[in-house]
Amino acid sequence: MNLFDLTGKRALITGSGGGIGLALARGLAEHGAQVVLNGRDPARLDVAATQLRAEGHAVETVPFDVTDEAAVIAGVAQVLAGGELHILINNAGIQRRTPLTDVTLELWNEVLTANLTAAMLVSREVAPHLLARGSGKVVNILSLMSELGRKTIAPYTAAKGGLKMLTRAMCAEWAAGGVQVNGIGPGYFTTEMNQALLADAAFTTWIEARTPAGRWGDPSELVGAAVFLSSEASNFVNGQVVYVDGGLLAVL
């Protein structure tokens, strides 16, 4: 028996038109899952789906804005109308970098909604389906900022810290119903969201020195943790966070 086999499982990955979300969708598909791509841009999802189908994977696209409650209700209903759902990966998120004294309420709400509230909305709509079956997986994509602060990203840090505690709250409510809720905390990865950082030689030098592995991560390196937390291998793992950070959190 392969504990990590996702054959027969169907997974919704939010924000999977590119970046980490698409890497995770590809990884779950490579381990047998049927994947449902989500994002706000249907055209971007279609490009991603075409790539994955060309690689031989079963892919659906369900575009909806995870920050819009009505869109989430309708979008999740559409996903569930398409069949059983076994895995939800709350990946969608944004980054806005500015000093806290310059943070407007609009920016604060934009970041908190995209990175925290959206995970609650989508999970609230998916959970009854998982609980009715008595099994399922929810994986929240956290951050190093669930544990550490860094200047100029206070809203993101607050949101990702909240997402760690929301992961534990979901565990408290849903574990007895056979649903395992856990998190993945990426370190610094070469993603679209981090392009400004990757273009900053001083920052990349600092991160490479601060990270024991001495390098940035590739989004494909998050797949192992995602497959583990999406598979039978994690059936007694609840409320935990797997940090995939090259050791950054482990050392000063």
**Interface ranges with ligand GCO (CB under 6 A):** 95, 97, 143-145, 150, 153, 156, 186-188, 193-194, 197
d(CA 133, CA 131): 5
- CB 102 to ligand GCO: min, Å: 15
Closer to ligand GCO by CB, 64 or 156: give it: 156
Chain-centre distance for alpha carbon 12 = 10
d(CA 153, CA 59): 34
- CB 233 to ligand GCO: min, Å: 24
Closer to ligand GCO by CB, 91 or 194: give it: 194
From the CB of residue 29, how many other CB atoms can be counted at a distance below 10 Å?
Answer: 21
Closest to 228 (Cα-Cα) out of 18, 53, 2 = 2
Closer to ligand GCO by CB, 51 or 220: give it: 220
Residues designated as active site: 156
Q: What are phi and psi of 139, to 5 degrees?
A: -125, 115
Please answer whether residues 126 and 76 qualify as being in contact, where contact means their C-beta atoms are separated by less than 8 angstroms: yes
- CB 146 to ligand GCO: min, Å: 8
- CB 140 to ligand GCO: min, Å: 13
- CB 68 to ligand GCO: min, Å: 23
Sign of CA dihedral 83, 66, 19, 45: positive
d(CA 141, CA 150): 18
Cβ-Cβ contacts under 8 Å for 174 (sequence gap 6 or more): 127, 130, 131, 138, 181
d(CA 63, CA 78): 10
Closer to ligand GCO by CB, 141 or 171: give it: 141
Closer to ligand GCO by CB, 73 or 197: give it: 197
